[in-house]
């Protein structure tokens, strides 16, 4: 346990110019007193860890110092080869670089671990696109990805409805969602972060100017917030339905997850027939009709009247069809 922590401490100091005791304690999940003892232990073992005092002080290693750590376990080596997404790397134009990196890592491993890439690939595979889709790689994705890696401002022409607009962006990150690539970027003029579909970019002009990244920007957190906001924005209408016990069970598979969660959270006690009445957020009455039809006789629409009439018409047509 302590040996692993000492190795982690050395790797942290190798990757950063300097770290305070508080920062190391937070990363290692120990007290600052333990950090002090670990630094002393490393120094006694011959690792040149220095402690600078003062406001700008902290622990550091001499510039250029590198330790050679070859003690990868099999599980660690296999996990390392799982970290890449071959299809996504190929689409971003990074397949050659990723292949070269894998070869170098394989060459550095112990002979007994050099089959780690093959064993990992045969056990886990990521298929990002959704079912029943034939996604196409956006032609400008490599240019966008290069700007993301290089922290370089870009000017893009972007399709918005029937029009094209021009935007100057600071590209912070790329997200692959269900086979669709999205760019998370800060609009230079507005100064706010927004999401852009890469396949709607018709031109990308990388400039010569780099931008200073906001170190507080968290790509996974930003994407999660934007995705949740987008899902909520789609639910602009509401219907009231009665659901049987089976209908309640099947509801999350028939409607949007956010809609189902809201409905189930508002569900009261069952009535005398065991049915529950709930308000259901929906995108539109048309979409609700298509989604709720999948529940068949396990749902009764109470309102709005127009949607209830539509289901009544469907029920009569089905009765005539099967009554022959």
**How high is the mean pLDDT of the chain?**
85
193-197 and 299-303 as β-strands: parallel, antiparallel, unpaired? Answer: unpaired
Asked whether the beta carbons of 190 and 165 are under 8 A apart, the reply is no
Q: Which residue has the higher pLDDT, 208 or 253?
A: 253
Q: Is the pLDDT of residue 4 over 90?
A: no
Q: Is the pLDDT of residue 123 over 90?
A: no
Name 242's Cβ contacts closer than 8 Å, sequence gap at least 6: 271, 275, 276, 277, 299, 300, 302
> Considering the entire predicted model, what is its pTM?
0.63
Residues in the chain: 324
Q: Which residue has the tokens 């190929």?
A: 90
Label residue 47 by pLDDT band (50, 70, 90): confident
**Distance of alpha carbon 56 from alpha carbon 298, whole angstroms:** 67
Residue 178: the pLDDT is: 82
Cis peptide before 304 (omega within 30 of 0): yes
**Distance of alpha carbon 144 from alpha carbon 142, whole angstroms:** 5
Q: Is the pLDDT of residue 220 over 70?
A: yes
Q: Could you tell me the CA-to-CA distances from 172 to 93, 210, 216 in Å, in that order?
A: 18, 12, 12
180-187 and 50-52 as β-strands: parallel, antiparallel, unpaired? Answer: unpaired
Q: Is the pLDDT of residue 41 over 60?
A: yes
- Per-residue pLDDT tens over the stretch 168-198: 999 999 998 888 899 999 998 888 999 999 9
163-177 and 58-60 as β-strands: parallel, antiparallel, unpaired? Answer: unpaired
Counts for the chain of helices (H) and strands (E), in that order? 13, 10
């Amino acid at each position: 346990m302590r040996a692993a922590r000492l190795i982690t401490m050395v790797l942290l100091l190798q990757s950063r110019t300097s770290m305070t005791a508080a920062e190391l304690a937070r990363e290692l999940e120990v007290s600052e007193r333990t950090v002090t003892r670990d630094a002393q232990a490393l120094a006694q073992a011959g690792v040149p860890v220095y402690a600078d005092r003062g406001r700008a002080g902290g622990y550091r290693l001499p510039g250029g110092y590198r330790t050679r750590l070859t003690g990868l376990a099999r599980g660690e080596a296999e996990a390392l080869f799982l970290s890449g997404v071959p299809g996504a790397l190929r689409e971003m134009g990074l397949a050659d670089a990723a292949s070269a990196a894998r070869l170098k890592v394989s060459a550095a491993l112990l002979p007994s671990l050099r089959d780690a890439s093959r064993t990992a690939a045969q056990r886990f595979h990521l298929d990002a696109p959704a079912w029943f889709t034939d996604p196409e790689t956006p032609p400008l994705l490599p240019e966008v990805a290069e700007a993301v890696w290089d922290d370089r401002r870009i000017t893009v022409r972007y399709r918005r409805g029937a029009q094209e607009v021009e935007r100057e962006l600071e590209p912070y990150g790329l997200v692959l969602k269900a086979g669709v690539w999205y760019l998370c970027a800060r609009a230079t003029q507005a100064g706010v972060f927004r999401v852009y579909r890469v396949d709607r970019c018709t031109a990308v002009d990388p400039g010569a100017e780099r931008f200073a990244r906001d170190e507080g920007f968290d790509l996974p957190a930003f994407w999660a917030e934007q995705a949740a906001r987008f899902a909520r924005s789609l639910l602009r209408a509401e219907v009231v339905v009665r659901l049987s016990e089976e209908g309640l069970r099947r509801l999350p598979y028939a409607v949007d997850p956010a809609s189902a969660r809201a409905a189930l959270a508002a569900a009261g006690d069952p009535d005398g027939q065991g049915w529950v009445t709930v308000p259901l957020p929906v995108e539109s009455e048309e979409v609700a009709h298509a989604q709720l039809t999948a529940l068949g006789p396990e749902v009764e629409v109470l309102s709005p009247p127009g949607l209830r009439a539509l289901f009544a018409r469907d029920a009569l047509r089905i009765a005539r069809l099967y009554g022959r």
